[in-house]
Amino acid sequence: MHSELPVSPGTAQMPGHRVEITERGSFCFANCSCGWSRPARRSRDLARREAAEHLEESGADQGT
């Protein structure tokens, strides 16, 4: 999601997509600043792949 509000002086634009992979115990969670998330995975590789697919589908730069 992104802000539909116009940018005016003193306001900042929302960042596009910033994906984080978080580990809790033996589970990995993929979450994005746009609100996208996936269920917890035991496979780190699967969580990373899903995050990369999200960035690709959204057109975001994968370097973030």
Q: In a structure prediction context, what are the per-residue pLDDT tens digits for the chain, which is 64 residues long?
A: 444 544 555 555 556 788 999 999 999 999 999 999 999 999 999 999 999 999 999 886 555 4
Residues 48, 21 contacting (CB under 8 angstroms): yes
Whole domain around residue 24: which residue ranges? 19-58
Residues composing the chain = 64
Residue 43 lies in a domain: yes
Residue 29 lies in a domain: yes
Q: How many domains does the chain have?
A: 1
pLDDT of residue 59: 80
Residues 55, 15 contacting (CB under 8 angstroms): no
> Per-residue DSSP letters for 15-62?
PS--EEEEEETTEEEEEETTS-B---BS-HHHHHHHHHHHHHHHT--T
pLDDT of residue 9: 57
